[in-house]
Each structure stands twice: as structure tokens, then as C-alpha cells.
Amino acid sequence: MKRVFSILLVALLLILPVLSAQADDRPTYVFVDDGLLTVDELGDLNTRAFMIRLDRGVGVYYFYYSDVQDLPSYIEQFAAEHVAEENALVLGFNADYYYFLQIGPVAKAALPDSVCEGTILEAYRAVKGDPKGKLLAYLNTTDEILKEYRNTYGYASETQSVSSDPYDLSDVPEGIARTDGGKPTLVDRAHLLTDSEAASLSKLLKEIGSEYRCDVIVATVPGLGGKTAEAYADDFFDYNGYGYGAVPDANGTTINGDGILLLLSMEARDFAISTSGSAIKAFTDYGIQCCLEPAFLPYLRNNAYGEGFNAFAYECENMLQAARDGIPYDSRHIYVDTWTDAQLLEYNDRAAAVAREHNIGIYFLKSDAIDNAETYLESFRYDRVSEPGSILLVSGPNGYSLRVFGNSAKTKFSEKKLAELQNAVIPYLESGDIDTAVRNYLSVGEKIASWRPVNWFTFFIAIVAGLLFGFIPVSGMKRQLISVNKKTSAETYMEPSSFTVTQNSDVLLGKNISRSVHVVRTESSGGGGRGGSSGGFHGGSSTHSSSSGGTHGGHSGKF
Amino acid sequence: MPQQLLEYRCPACGASLQFDSGSQQVVCPYCDSSFSPQELIDYDSFLKEDAKNETSDSWSKDADRWDKDEATGLNVYTCAACGGEVLGDDTLASARCPFCDNTVIMKRQFTGEWKPDLVLPFKLDRAAAQNAFRKHLHGKKLLPKAFHSESCIEEIKGIYVPFWLFSSDVSASMRFSGTKSRAWTDGGFDYVETSRYALLRAANARFNRIPVDGSLKMDDAMMDSLEPFDFREAVDFQTAYLSGFFSDRYDVDADVSVDRAKTRFNQTMTSRVSALTGGFSSVALESSTISEHNNEREYALLPVWLLHVRWNGKLYTFAMNGQTGKLVGDLPLDKGRMWKYRLLYGGIFAAILGGLCLLGHFLGCGGGCL
């Protein structure tokens, strides 16, 4: 008995740090008779229920007390004791009966008795003999239904307050920080944030905007009023007079001020990012879709709006910093600050092809904003190079730096080859003939990158296979030495005409037919390039015109 | 009982006669007279009439001395021509006297149940056997080189080997289970229809003269390997064909030997009948009944040249079909040469594959094409 106790104590001590780290004030959702589930299993299930609570705002409770007599009245008592949420579902069992109890408007609307006794109970009962599996089925099915409900009706149904004029910002509370142009940095018309969250976020957005002289705005709306998200975002930006350093006209409309706006519409869970002015360059298509969106969209998908907007703000800061340091986030391998996108396009496509084909990134980066080529190269490589092997040439007004990274690139770009590359590029770079320098850099770099070391393993296999093949003719020679074999057939002694078939009949014994659903095979779309990071991007930013005549970049989609 | 030993003597000069495989005549090696076997038989019976009162048993088994020690199965004969003693086992039917080289034929071995029905006379002689042996060695790359030069043919013996020839009408009746399947798609479903059948197949065939070696001394596999013999050239047995050759009588009974013949025609019938079950997606043999009718068996002496070759202290036996000249016999393997060839060919293939690998690499598929 003592021993069991000490084991339990050790186990408790072991899980204590975990519990204290993440489950300080986490409520319990699953209650069962002792011994039905292990501590680990209970922990998993409670975590899952807690996730549902976080994602959907609904507490999903379960208890199994075999000795409870009057289940309906006990479940009320249970709800009073344990349920903390405004909306909750409780499924209670005793030895003989079950009982569902919905609490709060959302739970009542999303989880009517028909759904509980139908879908949820079916899923629960479909799992046999595995208590944890049964409970997981219950939790997951409820989660699905809540998600479905939320996608269809949203939360807006509870808290509707659509401003009649979307461009009237006078209703934005005082606690929201303003841009240097005096406009609110956060317009939360869908009420996704608490007041304190909104205040701190707006302050963060304002600081970033002032620092980088580029408005960073977040707006949420219940619906789009029939517009596309992109158009809504563009218009919201222009007609509200956003844009760092832009001067609004008489109507308060600005054109081509510097700024980026994130718009969320809760109606159909649309989002749009609209960039304007210098932000179009800083936030390239690749930067928005491959860096910015992956940074915040996952939070939004989980309804963690506060975290999502903060992540958006920080990633915007990163990208603005990158643009300030020299080169905006892009899929580009070749960047020369004095060139237009069109000029860069051809070279970048070539470099992207090399990266796809040989998995080696060839980078040529020249910008007057680069102070120290050496350190810039290091940080650029660390943040922005996705290929496992790469060669980078960074050139700033104070000199240049050329480095090779990754074993795959190092074996190809040996000292000798590197010297060859330098001879072909550096003289032109120093004499200011950037065009020739880039062209030589790419062609020589491509030549070196496409050199492959001999695959000695395959070669070895070929040699061994060849040696083994040598046994085949020799086994024929060995067979020549053997001429004594016992005969097993009497074919030669059969009179050829004497073979007569006297019976040849097939008797059908039975048939059976099996049926299966016809599966149409679809060709899986062939995978793209290996390097992968630059697929579909040609560098730079695509732009469109908004209704006010301004030029915007950006991207939109669903979350 | 005194042994009836036959010794054919030349009617012209009295020397021992021998059967000449080239001319298919019995010839006298001393005076070049030649006789057909039939002539000799006629002459022989004439002689017997003539010498009725003479002791015709010129060979006699020294029965008294050896009967007590029969465990060794040896008999001693006394050569009539020179008086030397000839040792022979129970089955020895004809031999040559080791002292005077006269052919002797133990007549007792060919009487009663031991009387052969057929004999297939030798068509090829000793020289042909020697040539065939040299040819047999030719072109065998893994044969030790020294075998060509150092091997010596210790003995070449022409032997009439006793064979049983089995002929039979064989009926085979077999039942198979078979399935046919058919697949189609209709209305979003894949259908597979499997039909099960019982397949009844029966066939008759005539097997003629399957030879089964009836001598324990002869290796079964080696005798099998000498096939085929052309029995159209077989003639009724006459002791005259034996002159100049060794011969044995059978010591494996027909009842025992027939099992080997049965195995062979069963196998042939089974494969022939199984071949009649085409058109099914799977077929499995369920039961099989094979019966024989009109069984005939014949006792035949078939011509075989046996060559004993000594090399490296070991004895290698070869056998040549005395009718067709087909020579069989396993040859020793030169392990050193085997590895040499393996390395040689392996080296060539390795060079080709390795070269392809490198070529592929330089042509741009990076060796991944192999």
C-alpha cells in the first residue's frame, strides 16, 4: 500500500509541472466514475474539451456516475456546480439513462435535442468498448456541429451593431490609437476584441506606422454589403483617408498614400489585405502570401483574433524592416534596387528555374540601402533563403560579399569554381556594369550548379550488379558439364495419333456476384518544383486600381 | 547343373568370332570370314547335331567350390579355349576371357525367364565411342584443362544392358475445379461475377516401349539419359549378336521396374490432360485416376558402350548409346576456372553497367536512370 502511494506521488510530481504550466485555471469537463479512465486519458479529454471551449466558446461537459438516481434533477445540480460558460452542453449518464442539457442561447440554437439525440449520440454509440474513444467521438462531433453552426450563422447574430455608413469612423472609441494622420488604426465593427485588446493592438499598429512611415490598419466588419473583400478594403482605405503622408481631398479621400490594411468580414469569413503607395513595394505578392498570411491566418481560423492581429502587426513590422534594410520579402533571387520589375523578371525566372532543378538558390542582391554587405548577407540567408544549398552575392555601396551555404552547394562551388565565378562577375560589378555582372553571375552560377557529383552509390550498385550478372553465363557453362538426368516424362514414347480426348465437359457449380462502389481514379496533379518556395511567384507586387482611382496591391481570401 | 556356355567359332579357321557393329555381321578377326547371325545359328545347330556325343559344355561353373560362399555372388568359369578361370557375378551373361580374349557366352543366362525378347544390335564400335568421348569433352569451358591431356580411358566395354520395355494403353480421367470471372461497371458500381465449374477431362493414349533399365549395376539416371533408342531396328534375340560384347541379365524384376515407367506416363498424361483446361481464370486439380490396359512388357538387350576414365585418382563413368552415339556422363568442374570466368564476365558486365551509369550522369540524368 505504501509503495502504491509512493508511485502515485512520483507520478503526481512528474505531471505537476505540466499541469501548472498550462492548466492553472482550466476547468474540468469530463467526470467519470473512478477507474473508468486513466489520469492521462482524462487529461487528454479535458484538453480537447478546453480547445472546443476556446474555439467555439461553448463548454462541452460529460459525466458518467453510475449511482446517480434522478438523472434530470442531478444534471441541473451538476450544471450549477461545474459549468462556468455562458453556453454549454452537458451529457450525463447513470447506469441506465442518458440526459442532454443545453445551456445558453448558442448551445440551445446550435445543439437542439434532435441533433443531440441524433448525430451526437450516434457518433458516441458507434465507438464500442473504448471509453476514451467514445468520449472523443462525443467531443469531436459536438465540435463539428458548433463549427458548422458558427460558419453558417456567425457570432454576429448575437451582437449586431452595423454602422450605417462604413466610412464614418466617428463611432470608433476614444481608447483606440490614431495614425500620424489622425485616423484610428483599428476599426473593430465585428466586435472581435475586448476593449483592452483593442487598445493595446491599436497602439502597436500606430507605433509601427510611425516608425516605418506606413499606416498599418486593421478593420473588422460584420458584412461586406455586396462588395468584394478586395474592393471593400481598397475603398475603406481610400475613402477613410488612410495612407501615411497622403493629404485627403475635400471629401476626406486619399490616393496612393503609404499603408497596409487588413480587413476581416465575419459574414462569410472573408479577409483582404490592401496595400498602397510604397507599401506595395514592401509587401510583394510573395511576401503577403508566403510570409504575412501564414503568420496570422492560423490564429484567425481558430478565432484567436487578438493573437492573429498582433501576429499581423509584428509580421508587417518585419517586412517593413526588410524593405528598409534593402530588399523586401520576395521570392526573388535577383534584386537590383535600380531596376524595374520587368527588368528583374527574366533573371529571376532563370534563377527560380535553377533552384527548382538543382535545389540551389543563386542570389544576387544589390541595394544602396545595404550598409554592411557581410552582416546583411548573414541575416538574409538566415531569414529568407529557403533552398538547402545557396550562393549569395550581396553588394552595397560599401562593398560586396560572396558566400556559399549548404553542403550541396559547397560540393559544387569549390574554391576553384568560386574563383571562376568571381572573375566573371566582380570586375563588372566594380566598374558599375551591373547588367553584365548579373548576366555572367547567373550563367556561370547555373553552369556550376548544374554540375552533379557522380552518384557513387548507384555506381557501386551497378558494379556489384554487373559482377553478379557474370554468374549467369557461367551457370550455363556449369550446366554443360552435367549430362546425366533422370527422365520423368514419357512424351517421346506416346504414339502421336493415339492421344484421344474422351471427355471434356464443364459443369457449372455456381455463381456469385460481388458489388463494390466504382471508384473513379483521378490523376494526382504532378508535384511542382522541389525548391517549392517560389512556385507561382515571379517577384514584385501585382496591383489593381480602386474605385477612387488609387493603385493598390494585396491579396484576399477566406479564413 | 552344367552351364550352357556358347562360344562361336569360325567355321573356316576355328578362331573366336565377333559381332561387327559396322556390317551387322559376325566376323572372324583372323581369316576375315563373315557370316550373318542367322547363318551362324544354322551352322551352330548343324554342329550340335554333328557332335552329339561330344561334351559340349566347354565352360562349367565350379559349383562345388563356390556354392558355400555365395554371399559374394561370384561364379567361376573355366575358359574352354585356354583353361583360364573367369570370374563372373550372377548376372554376367557374356564376357571375354581375360587370358585369351575369347568371347564366352553363358547360355544359362538366356534361357527360360531370362530369354530376351529383343536385342538392339550395336551399330557403333569402340573407335566411335572413343571419338564420342573426345567430342564430349570438346567445348566444355569449365572442364579442367588437364582432363583433356591427363585423363586416361581405363576401359571401354561394349555391354548389352538388360532393359524392360513397357507398352500400355493409358486412360487418364481427371477432375479440376475452375473459376471464370467477368467484371463490368454499371450504375456507379463495379460488379465481379465469379462462376465455379467442375471440369471433367479424360483421355486415352498409347505408350510404346518405355525403356527401364533392369540392371542394378547400371545407374538409372545415366541409362535414362541415353534415350532415345530406335526400337524399329530391334531384332529377335540371337546369342550371335553378343559375340565380342559383354552382357548382363536383368536383376531388377519387371514388377519393380514398371513403377518407373508408370511414373513417366502418369506425368505425361497429367500434363497433357491439364493442358485441356484453357479458358479459365484459375484451375486446380481435384482428383486424378490413371489406369493402364493392354499392358505388354518385353525384355530387351540394348547396346551401351561404357567408358571408365581415370583422372586425378578418381574414376569417371561415361556411357554411349551404342545405336545413336549419344554419349553422357558428368564431367568434373574446375572451380578455379569457374571463378575466373565469373570474374571475367562479371567484370565485363560491371564495366558496361558502370559505364552506362557514368554516361547517364554526364548526359544529365545523374545516374538516376539506372
- Chain B (119-178) residues lying within 8 Å, Cβ to Cβ, of chain A: 136, 139-143, 169, 171, 173, 177-178
Nearest-angstrom CA–CA distance, B311 and B134: 14
Residue A492 resides in a domain: no
> Model confidence over A138-156: pLDDT tens digits?
999 998 888 887 777 655 4
Of A474, A498, A512, the CB nearest to B345: A474
pLDDT at residue A430 in the model = 87
Domain encompassing residue A52: 26-153
Q: Does A276 share its domain with A176?
A: yes
A79 and A59 together in one domain? yes
Residue with cell 559482377: A467
Determine the pLDDT at residue A22. Answer: 44
ipTM of this complex = 0.74
User: Which pLDDT value is given to residue B71?
Assistant: 43
Beta carbons of B142 and A480 less than 8 Å apart: yes
Sign of CA dihedral B24, B26, B29, B32: negative
The dihedral built from the CA positions of residue B275, B276, B282 and B286, taken in this order, carries a sign that is negative
Tell me how far the alpha carbon of residue A144 is from its chain's centroid.
21
In a domain, A546, yes or no: no
Per-residue pLDDT band at B204 (split at 50, 70, 90): very high
On whether any CB of chain B is under 8 Å from the CB of A382, the answer is no
Domain C-terminal end among A450, A476, A505:
A450
For range A508-514, the mean pLDDT: 88
| Same domain for A191 and A313 | yes
Average pLDDT, chain B: 82
Instruction: State whether A490 and B210 contact (CB < 8 Å).
Output: yes
Closest chain A C-alpha to B121 CA, distance in angstroms:
20
Is 70 exceeded by the pLDDT of residue B214?
yes
Among A463, A483, A489, the residue with its CB nearest the CB of B225 is: A483
Task: Examine the pLDDT at B51 and tell me if it is beyond 60.
Answer: no
* A177 lies in the same domain as A241: yes
Mutate to test the interface with B, among A463, A482, A484 (most CBs of B within 10 A): A484
Q: What is the pLDDT of residue B69?
A: 42
Distance from CA of A358 to the nearest CA of B (A): 11
Is B290 an interface residue toward A (CB < 8 Å)? Answer: no
In a domain, A399, yes or no: yes
- Annotate A435-458 with b (16+ C-beta within 10 A) or e (fewer): eebbbbbbebbbebbeebeebeeb
CB within 8 Å of B260: residues ≥ 6 apart: B212, B220
Reply yes or no on whether the pLDDT at A246 is more than 50: yes
> A477 contacts in B (CB within 8 Å)?
140-142, 338, 341
Q: Which of residues 445-504 of A touch B (CB under 8 A)?
A: 452, 454-455, 458-459, 461-474, 477-478, 480-495, 498-504
For residues A260-282, average pLDDT? 89
**A358, A388 in Cβ contact below 8 A?**
no
Select from A153, A179, A206 the last residue of a domain. Answer: A153
Q: Tell me which of A412, A487, A501 to substitute to probe the interface with B (most B C-beta atoms closer than 10 Å).
A: A487
Alpha-carbon gap: B247 to the closest alpha carbon of chain A (Å): 22
**Partner A, chain B 336-355, Cβ-Cβ below 8 Å:** 338, 341-354
Q: Tell me, yes or no, whether A71 and A138 share the same domain.
A: yes
Rounded to whole angstroms, the Cα distance separating A100 from A103 reads 10
SS3 call for A32? strand
For residues A525 and A271, which has the higher predicted lDDT (pLDDT)?
A271
Residue B312 Ramachandran class (φ > 0 left, ψ -120 to 50 alpha, else beta): left
Q: What is the pLDDT of residues A303-345, one digit of tens each?
A: 888 899 999 999 999 889 888 887 888 878 888 888 887 888 8
A410 inside 8 A of chain B by CB = no
A442 half-sphere exposure, CB direction, 13 A CA radius = 21
Mutual angle of helices A2-22 and A39-56, in 10-degree steps: 20
Biggest distance spanned by C-alpha atoms of chain B:
106
Between A300 and B26, residue with greater pLDDT? A300
DSSP B278-334: TT-SEEEEEEEEEEEEEEEEEEEEEEEEEEEEEETTEEEEEEEETTT--EE------
- Averaged pLDDT for residues A491-512: 89
Of B229, B255, B3, which Cα lies nearest the Cα of B110? Answer: B3
Q: Which helix (H) or strand (E) holds B73?
A: none
Shortest CB distance from B353 goes to which of A463, A484, A492?
A463
pLDDT classification of A208: cutoffs 50, 70, 90: very high
CB contact under 8 A, A488 and B263: yes
Lowest mean pLDDT among A209-218, A257-266, B107-116: B107-116
Residues in A 55-114 with any Cβ partner in B closer than 8 A: none
Pair A554, A285: CB distance under 8 Å: no
Residue A297 has pLDDT above 70, yes or no: yes
A chain contacts of residue B210, beta-carbon cutoff 8 Å: 490, 493
Asked if residue A372 and residue A321 are part of one domain, the reply reads no
Residue A525 has pLDDT above 60, yes or no: no
Task: Mark whether A319 and A338 lie in a shared domain.
Answer: no
Between chains, do A514 and B194 touch, taking CB under 8 Å as contact? yes
What would the DSSP string read from start to end of B24-56?
A: TEEE-TTT--EE-HHHHHHHHHHHHHHTTTS--
Closest CA–CA distance from residue A531 to any residue of chain B (Å): 18
Contact B190 A516 (CB under 8 A): yes
Q: Are residues A317 and A360 in the same domain?
A: no
Q: Do A317 and A382 belong together in one domain?
A: no
Taking the C-alpha atoms of residue A65 and residue A81, their distance in angstroms, rounded to an integer, is 15
Same domain, residue pair A134 and A264? no
Distance CA A151, CA A144 (A): 10
Return the pLDDT at B48.
66
* pLDDT score of A148: 81
Task: Tell which wins on pLDDT, A444 or A26.
Answer: A444
pLDDT band at A179, cuts 50/70/90? confident
Q: State whether B358 and A455 contact (CB < 8 Å).
A: no
Q: Is the pLDDT of residue A136 over 70?
A: yes
**Percent of chain A residues past pLDDT 90, beyond the cut:** 12
Q: A390 and A364, same structural domain?
A: yes
Question: Which residue has better confidence, B207 or A533?
Answer: B207
Instruction: Please give the tally of structural domains in chain A.
Output: 3
Asked which of A414, A431, A450 is the last residue of a domain, the reply is: A450
